[in-house]
A and B are shown apart, each in its own frame.
Chain A
Amino acid sequence: GQSLEQPSEVTAVEGAIVQINCTYQTSGFYGLSWYQQHDGGAPTFLSYNALDGLEETGRFSSFLSRSDSYGYLLLQELQMKDSASYFCAVLTGGGNKLTFGTGTQLKVEL
């Protein structure tokens, strides 16, 4: 099966930079995704990495190292609205199966 580890909680101040790490153990790895979820609402897609390296989308960047089975989500210029849960998820099973981690709750403070 698959297992993913990410911190349960991270706290940062508005305007700062925060990194949320994700390590995984899986077979048939295709790629790593990140999702954001506000207060039990619908999770929304943030990014997907299939290859090693950094992908940047506005204030958010995502990194993957396949050899280390490790990735992270980097949030810059934090805003209060970034307070949410962030989930990493591994794509396996020939690209058919997306397995989520348990999520990291990010609290942004003034």
Chain B
Amino acid sequence: EAQVTQNPRYLITVTGKKLTVTCSQNMNHEYMSWYRQDPGLGLRQIYYSMNVEVTDKGDVPEGYKVSRKEKRNFPLILESPSPNQTSLYFCASSLSGTGAPGELFFGEGSRLTVL
């Protein structure tokens, strides 16, 4: 089954404790992206990656890091989480930035709470 898998789905952590949210897709997609969703603000892009070893900042990259060492994986790293990073996070992938225009496949989301 074609899917984007995120882990963990739910996490409560404390300020400053490094954490990683993993994302994996099995569709051989070149393009991957992370979004955060907050009430009233819609989905805001954090980082995206056009292909292996190619990453770029989205609209709200502060406090986050990403890496793309393999095509299928695109982890989101919070080096020192703060309460304002409490949010619902979505990973998404697409055949390429233009190959399947505007059509992203989303994971089920990771709800993160930072105390």
Residue numbers of A with Cβ under 8 A of B are 1, 30-33, 35, 40-45, 48, 50, 87, 89, 91, 93-103
Output the residue of A33, A91, A96 with the most chain B CB within 10 A.
Answer: A96
Output the residue of B41, B43, B90 with the most chain A CB within 10 A.
Answer: B43
Residue numbers of B with Cβ under 8 A of A are 31, 33, 35, 37, 40-45, 48, 50, 56, 58-59, 88, 90, 97-98, 101-109
Residue in A42, A45, A89, A94 whose beta carbon sits within 8 Å of that of B108 in the complex: A42
CA distance A91 to B99 in the complex (A): 12
Listed by A's residue number, 29 A-B pairs whose Cβ atoms lie within 8 Å are A1-B59, A30-B98, A30-B102, A32-B102, A40-B37, A40-B88, A41-B108, A41-B109, A42-B106, A42-B107, A42-B109, A43-B104, A44-B106, A48-B101, A50-B101, A87-B42, A87-B43, A94-B97, A94-B98, A95-B97, A96-B31, A96-B50, A96-B97, A97-B45, A97-B97, A100-B35, A100-B43, A101-B42, A102-B42
